[in-house]
A = this chain, B = another copy of it.
Amino acid sequence: MKKLINAVENVVREQLEGMASAHADVLKVSYEPTFIYRADAPVANKVALISGGGSGHEPMHGGFVGKGMLDAACPGEVFTSPTPDQMYAAGSAVNSGAGVLYIVKNYTGDVLNFEAAAEMLAGEGVPVQSILIDDDAAVKDSLYTAGRRGVGATVITEKITGAAAEAGYDLLQCADLCRKVNTSSRSIGVALTSCIVPAAGKPTFDLGDGEFEFGIGIHGEPGRRRLPMASVDEITEMMASAILDDGVYTRTVREWDQARGEWVDKELVNAPLRSGDGVIAFVNSMGGTPVSELYAMYRKLSGLLDARGIRIARNLIGPYITSLEMQGASITLVKVDDEILKFWDAPVLTPGLRWGV
Contacts and interface: CB of A to CB of B under 8 A. Distances in A.
Q: Which of A11, A18, A322, A355 gathers most chain B CB within 10 Å?
A: A18
A6 B325 contact: no
Contact of A18 (B21, B212, B229, B299): B299
B296 A15 contact: yes
Nearest to A229: B2
Interface string A40-72: 000000000000000110110001000000000
A163 to B, nearest CB: 16
B192 A292 contact: no
Contact of A233 (B6, B229, B235): B6
Interface residues of A, number: 57
A327 interface: yes
Contacts of A18: 294-299, 302
Contacts of A22: 295, 298, 302, 315, 317
Given A297-B18, A327-B325, A2 B319 contact: no
A212 B1 CA distance: 12
A302 B15 contact: no
B212 A292 contact: no
What number of copies of this chain does the assembly contain? 2
A289 interface: yes
A291 B5 contact: no
A265 interface: no
A289 B5 CA distance: 11
A129 interface: no
Nearest to A352: B291
Contact of A56 (B292, B299, B302, B357): B292
A231 B5 contact: yes
A58 B212 contact: no
A74 interface: no
Contacts of A212: 2
A19 interface: yes
A282 B327 CA distance: 24
Interface in A222-245: 229, 231-233, 235
Given A14-B232, A59-B291, 8 more contacts: A3-B192, A4-B232, A22-B315, A56-B292, A287-B288, A288-B325, A290-B319, A290-B324
Interface of A: 2-7, 11, 14-19, 21-22, 55-56, 58-59, 63, 192-193, 209, 212, 229, 231-233, 235, 287-299, 302, 315, 317, 319, 322, 324-325, 327, 329, 351-352, 354-357
Closest 3 CB pairs of A and B: A18-B295, A18-B299, A4-B293
30 contacts: A2-B209, A2-B212, A3-B192, A3-B232, A3-B293, A4-B235, A4-B297, A5-B231, A5-B232, A5-B293, A6-B231, A6-B296, A7-B231, A11-B296, A14-B295, A14-B296, A15-B293, A16-B295, A18-B296, A18-B297, A18-B298, A19-B295, A21-B299, A58-B292, A288-B325, A289-B325, A290-B319, A291-B322, A354-B355, A356-B357
